[in-house]
């Protein structure tokens, strides 16, 4: 009983984590399912069919590729623009700082329905054709805000003395940026880019409003939800998840293992 | 490593730094001779770090000049100046290993073959085997040495040290003080060391400048400024002093006579900043001899009577606090040579040789 | 501490050191323009455009409207949809509170008790971002299925008023809570992580019980995280329509559904736009009052 009380927090913590992962597990498990009817909601029998024939259903892989393409372009542009703004905010003085902050903050405070529908209204009014580029434009828009917040935090956490030391050691402004500032900020930028890509790849609402006839992966899933989601979708989603998870975990593990090995050989 | 060529005098001429209404550095003029170990000593906020940063180029002076040898470097960018800094927090580049940290300045100056100089410098600071570690894996003392190596390898005209030993524990600090002094003697570069620790300044430096509120109060060799402070601030900041305010009542040969609270004090003229009017009489606690009231006291010595309020036995010495007739507590450091221990409540007489007295101007504010 | 020259600081506590502060603002503007222009064109302008659309009047042709000043659109929207608004905010509000209750222990655990597992646990918290949220929400249909284990179990205990979880508001709220949980955990963790654990020890030394220590020390210090987390949950939840569609009955539709249907199905752009603005206005009002009460400024 006492053990329970002392470990209450860890137990609840683990339970919450399990709660977070149960649906993901269900998605993964159902990717090995051969559903009875069209709807893959209940376990029927084990089958590797979806994995072996992952592009078997028309449109699945096409939409997947489309989402990848949009994700890469939007992440690239959004990260560059967002990083530039973060640098301006942290390293320079200029008038209009509060307006800038407001402009960055508002998209994050606006519900996706409003973001998506207002953009649609703009494109309709301009008679701009809906499709790949309208979706990409929309994604760049919301990625910028997230990148600014992430990179800004990273920049502010950086010791300003390091840049002073670089200048003291004969590094001009460009050299200081290249050899000191940029390498130290890079992890933050990469993290922001990863977040941006995840947000873009998984975006439904804003994309749905602005895609026209284009089918992204989430749009495909939504459309299929009425008719029955093909098992291949589960397989693809599980694949993406596993690859992403392994990448992030291994970066962490490699980093900390290297750190620990070197620390243990430090003499005092 | 041979003495570096390019070591030159550093001159600050009427240097001023103001932040709005606040004047951090107030018309500073001083010359730091080439090859010396120079300490800028003062309390927090006195302007010493600001001065250092101006020499490094990290702060722009409001007015004045900085000259390194014959060249005016006042408006030169920090990356153009042949001056390097050891930062208080070391500011080692966390993403580079020790080798690359030390090589940084050389690389930026376009030098290709860095291995030779870097390894030699790492040997000098005794960090050779750790060349491929990252700063986070080093102890505080080791990081400090890397910071010194990184700056020194560029053979600057002047090496600036911004309280480099502040983060180290006592034992390590003592060690590093000796280390730095050794390196400076061996390499021959001018060191400008900023610190608030007066013991550190006096131990390491050839010349100490005491700064207060943006100005230099007094400058000179440690023993000089210690034994003969020229302002009340220096008397109290550097070591401890017992002081009393009085007025000059006359002369006696080479001395002036001061009367304060009914007592008379003799001060050699060359140890006093003034010869008339209101004057502060001072003496260091270790120069005082203490004896029970009524004891015989050498002729011609200055004396003050009091009553002991505290006696702290510290092993080597005993530290006494005695309340004087005019309400101040005076401090006496007495080496424990005799078995006599005086106790709180005892009436005593404190006496000292006039040659140990100093006379100072009364400071402006009360 | 040495005499650190007072550095010329910008707003929001940002310190810009000596020489950099004198850099020409021109560079700053060059850096700002691409991103800000993008946001101006593709965020601000659309909103303005949406506003004008909300005031448009019908022309008789379906889906075609003309510029006007029909403020009555707003009145119509409110009249017809106010129950939906109320429902939406009840759902999102409940989900936010639930998310806070669920997320806080986990965030606390990671911040104070996790030790060397901290990095790994944080990765696990962020991991759901890499799994399709549509599929995850859809998975709840499997988990909460009428014939499923959980529903049957709760039914046996007679805890379900409608005999099922799916297609009821309960499922919608559960879905909303689940979807936005990471958005609640991360800011909470960030705030808790900054708290010095020795403060709790100090409280204990001063006769506070563990619960009082939490109430008087940790909770108040974690408030910035609570504010950030609740806002990051409440705002998107209020406008969501995925959960309502996938997990709820037609009677559980939220404002998001209404906006979407009006926009894409009825093509009643003025009403859809009016609904959007009413939603935004309410959200901004809530945010404003909430921040004022909680007293935190720097959100970005």
The DSSP result for chain C, as a single string, is ---PPPP-B-STT-B--GGGGGS-HHHHHHHHHHHHHHHIIIIIHHHHHHHHHHT-EE-SSTT-EE----THHHHHHHHHHHHHHHHHHHHHHHHHHHHHHHHHHHHHIIIII-GGGHHHHHHHHHGGGGS-HHHHHHHHHHHT-TTSHHHHHHHHTT--TTS-STTSHHHHHHHHHHHTHHHHHHHHHHHHHTS-THHHHHHHHTT--HHHHIIIIIHHHHHHHHHHHHHHHHHHHHH--HHHHHHS-GGG--HHHHHHIIIIIS--HHHHHHHHHHHHHHHHHHHHHHHHHHT-----
Best residue in A168, A189, A262 for a mutation probing chain B (most B CBs within 10 Å): A168
Tell me if A153 sits within 8 A of A120, measured CB to CB.
no
Best residue in B53, B56, B78 for a mutation probing chain A (most A CBs within 10 Å): B78
A263 touches chain B (CB under 8 A): yes
State residue A259's pLDDT score. 64
Q: Nearest CB to C5: which of B49, B78, B194?
A: B49
State residue C9's pLDDT score. 34
pLDDT-based confidence at B29, cuts 50/70/90?
very high
| Distant-in-sequence contacts of C57-65, Cβ < 8 A, 24+ apart | C57/C270, C58/C270, C62/C267, C63/C267, C63/C269, C65/C269, C65/C270
Rounded to two decimals, the ipTM of the complex is 0.85
* Contact residues, chain B, for C19 at CB < 8 Å: 57-60, 78
Cβ C5–B19 below 8 Å, yes or no? yes
- Which of A94-108, B124-138, C56-70 bottoms out in mean pLDDT, i.e. has the lowest? C56-70
Point out which residues pair with C57 in neighbouring strands: C66
The pLDDT tens digits of the residues spanning A59-92 come to 889 999 999 999 999 999 999 999 999 999 988 8
Tell me if C57 sits within 8 A of C66, measured CB to CB.
yes
**A219 Cβ contact partners less than 8 Å away, ≥ 6 residues apart:** A63, A204, A207, A208, A211
- The upper half-sphere exposure of residue C203, i.e. CA atoms within 13 Å in the direction of its Cβ, equals 16
State residue C299's pLDDT score. 44
> What's phi and psi for B351, nearest 5 deg?
-135, 155
The pLDDT tens digits of the residues spanning A188-232 come to 898 899 889 999 999 999 999 999 899 999 999 998 888 888 888
**C49 Cβ contact partners less than 8 Å away, ≥ 6 residues apart:** A118, A121, A122, A125
Question: For residue B59, what is the DSSP state?
Answer: S
In angstroms, how far is CA B78 from the centroid of its own chain? 26
Best residue in B95, B110, B144, B162 for a mutation probing chain A (most A CBs within 10 Å): B95
Entry pTM: 0.80
Euclidean distance between CA atoms B154 and B117, whole angstroms: 9
State residue B51's pLDDT score. 94
Low-confidence ranges of chain C (pLDDT < 50): 1-22, 296-300
Q: Is C267 left (phi over 0), alpha (psi -120 to 50) or beta?
A: left
Tell me if A163 sits within 8 A of A176, measured CB to CB.
yes
Question: For residue B300, what is the DSSP state?
Answer: T
Residue in chain C nearest B196 by alpha carbon: C2
A124 touches chain B (CB under 8 A): no
Cβ C42–A97 below 8 Å, yes or no? no
Tell me which of B339 and B183 has the higher pLDDT. Answer: B183
State residue C16's pLDDT score. 44
Percent over 70 (pLDDT), chain B: 98
Q: Nearest CB to C145: which of A41, A88, A91?
A: A41
Best residue in C28, C98, C193 for a mutation probing chain A (most A CBs within 10 Å): C28
State residue C12's pLDDT score. 36
The DSSP bridge pattern shows strands B63-68 and B278-283 to be unpaired
- Dihedral (CA of A110, A113, A116, A121) sign: negative
Cβ A169–B139 below 8 Å, yes or no? no
User: Is the pLDDT score of B295 beyond 70?
Assistant: yes
Question: CA nearest A140: which of B34, B63, C43, C44?
Answer: C43
**B234-293 residues touching C, CB cutoff 8 A:** none
Cβ A104–C300 below 8 Å, yes or no? yes
The pLDDT tens digits of the residues spanning C220-254 come to 888 888 988 999 899 999 999 999 998 988 888 99
> What's phi and psi for A265, nearest 5 deg?
-105, 10
**B3 Cβ contact partners less than 8 Å away, ≥ 6 residues apart:** B35, B187, B188
Cβ B108–A175 below 8 Å, yes or no? yes
Percent over 90 (pLDDT), chain A: 46
Point out which residues pair with B333 in neighbouring strands: B319
State residue C212's pLDDT score. 80
Residue A179 C-alpha, separation from nearest chain C C-alpha, in angstroms: 17
Name the neighbours of C, counting chains with at least 3 Cβ pairs within 8 A: A, B
Residue C157 C-alpha, separation from nearest chain A C-alpha, in angstroms: 22
C35 touches chain B (CB under 8 A): no
Instruction: Give CA angle at B175 (B169, B177), nearest 5°.
Output: 95
State residue B23's pLDDT score. 92
Helix A231-264 × helix C118-126 angle, to 10°: 160
Mean pLDDT in residue range B123-145: 90
């Amino acid at each position: 009983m006492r053990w329970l009380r002392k470990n209450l927090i860890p137990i609840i913590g683990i339970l919450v984590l399990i709660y977070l992962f149960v649906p993901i597990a269900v998605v993964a498990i159902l990717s090995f399912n051969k559903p009875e009817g069209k709807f893959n909601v209940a376990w029927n029998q084990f089958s590797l069919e979806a994995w072996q024939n992952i592009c078997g259903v028309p449109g699945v892989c096409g939409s997947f590729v489309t989402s990848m393409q949009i994700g890469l372009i939007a992440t690239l542009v959004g990260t560059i623009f967002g990083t530039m703004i973060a640098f301006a905010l942290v390293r320079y003085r200029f008038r209009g700082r509060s307006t800038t902050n407001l402009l960055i903050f508002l998209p994050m405070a606006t519900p996706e329905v409003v973001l998506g529908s207002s953009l649609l209204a703009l494109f309709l009014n301009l008679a701009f054709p809906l499709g790949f580029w309208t979706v990409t434009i929309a994604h760049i828009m919301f990625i910028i805000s997230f990148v600014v917040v992430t990179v800004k935090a990273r920049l502010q956490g950086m010791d300003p003395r390091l840049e002073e030391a670089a200048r003291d050691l004969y590094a001009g402004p460009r050299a200081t940026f290249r050899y000191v500032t940029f390498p130290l900020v890079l992890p933050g930028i990469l993290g922001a880019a990863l977040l941006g890509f995840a947000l873009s790849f998984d975006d439904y609402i804003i994309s749905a409003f602005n895609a026209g006839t284009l089918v992204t992966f989430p749009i495909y899933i939504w459309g299929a939800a009425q008719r029955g989601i093909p098992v291949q979708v589960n397989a693809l989603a599980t694949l993406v998840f596993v690859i992403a998870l392994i990448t992030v975990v291994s970066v962490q593990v490699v980093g900390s293992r290297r750190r620990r090995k070197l620390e243990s050989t430090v003499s005092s | 490593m041979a003495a570096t060529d390019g070591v030159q005098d550093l001159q600050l001429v009427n240097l001023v730094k103001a932040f709005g209404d606040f004047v951090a550095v107030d018309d500073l003029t001083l010359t730091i001779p080439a090859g010396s170990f120079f300490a800028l000593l003062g309390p927090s906020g006195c302007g010493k770090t600001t001065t250092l940063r101006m020499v490094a180029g990290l702060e722009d002076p409001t007015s004045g000049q900085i000259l390194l040898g014959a060249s005016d470097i006042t408006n030169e960018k920090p990356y153009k100046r042949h001056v390097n800094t050891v930062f208080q927090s070391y500011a080692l580049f966390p993403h580079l290993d020790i080798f690359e940290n030390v090589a940084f300045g050389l690389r930026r100056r376009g030098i290709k073959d860095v291995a030779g100089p870097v390894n030699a410098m790492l040997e000098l600071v005794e960090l050779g085997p750790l060349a491929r570690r990252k700063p986070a894996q080093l102890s505080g003392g080791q990081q400090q040495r890397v910071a010194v190596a990184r700056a020194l390898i560029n053979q600057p005209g002047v090496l600036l040290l911004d309280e480099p030993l502040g983060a180290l524990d006592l034992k390590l600090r003592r060690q590093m003080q000796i280390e730095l002094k050794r390196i400076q003697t061996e390499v021959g570069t001018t060191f400008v060391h900023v610190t608030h620790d007066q013991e550190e300044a006096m131990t390491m430096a050839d010349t100490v400048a005491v700064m207060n509120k943006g100005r230099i109060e007094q400058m000179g060799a440690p023993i000089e400024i210690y034994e003969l402070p020229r302002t009340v601030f220096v008397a109290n900041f550097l070591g401890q002093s017992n002081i009393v305010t009085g007025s000059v009542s006359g002369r006696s040969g080479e001395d002036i006579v001061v009367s304060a609270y009914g007592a008379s004090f003799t001060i050699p003229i060359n140890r006093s900043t003034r010869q008339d009017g209101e004057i502060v009489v001072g003496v260091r606690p270790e120069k005082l001899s203490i004896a029970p009231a009524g004891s015989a006291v050498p002729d011609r010595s200055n004396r003050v009577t009091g009553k002991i309020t505290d006696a702290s036995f510290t092993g080597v010495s005993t530290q006494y606090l005695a309340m004087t007739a005019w309400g101040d507590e005076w401090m006496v450091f007495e080496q424990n040579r005799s078995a006599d221990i005086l106790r709180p409540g005892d009436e005593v007489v404190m006496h000292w040789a006039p040659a140990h007295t100093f006379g100072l101007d009364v400071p402006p504010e009360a | 501490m040495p005499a650190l020259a007072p550095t010329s600081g910008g707003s929001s506590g940002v310190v810009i050191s000596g020489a950099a502060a004198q850099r020409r603002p021109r560079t700053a503007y060059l850096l700002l323009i691409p991103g800000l222009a993008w946001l101006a064109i593709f965020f601000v302008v659309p909103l303005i455009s949406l506003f004008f659309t909300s005031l448009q009047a019908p022309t008789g042709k379906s889906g075609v409207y003309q510029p006007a000043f029909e403020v009555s659109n707003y009145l119509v929207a409110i009249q017809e949809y106010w129950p939906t608004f109320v429902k939406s905010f009840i759902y999102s509000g409940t989900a936010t509170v639930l998310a806070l209750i669920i997320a806080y222990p986990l965030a606390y655990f990671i911040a104070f008790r996790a030790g060397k597992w901290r990095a790994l646990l944080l990765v696990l918290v962020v991991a759901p971002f890499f799994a399709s949220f549509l599929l995850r929400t859809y998975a709840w249909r499997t988990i909460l299925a009428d014939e499923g284990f959980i529903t049957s179990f709760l039914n046996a205990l007679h805890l379900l008023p409608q005999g099922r979880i799916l297609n009821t508001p309960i499922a919608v709220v559960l879905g909303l809570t689940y979807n936005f949980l990471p958005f609640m955990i991360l800011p909470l963790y960030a705030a808790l992580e900054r708290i010095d654990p020795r403060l709790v020890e100090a409280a204990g030394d001063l006769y506070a019980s563990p619960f009082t220590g939490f109430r008087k020390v940790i909770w108040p210090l974690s408030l910035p995280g609570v504010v950030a987390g609740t806002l990051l949950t409440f705002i998107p939840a209020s406008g969501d329509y995925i959960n309502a569609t996938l997990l709820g009955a037609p009677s559980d539709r939220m404002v998001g559904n209404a906006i979407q249907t009006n926009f894409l199905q009825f093509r009643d752009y003025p009403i859809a736009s009016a609904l959007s603005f009413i939603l935004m206005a309410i959200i901004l009002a809530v945010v404003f009052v909430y921040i004022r009460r909680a007293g935190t400024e720097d959100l970005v």
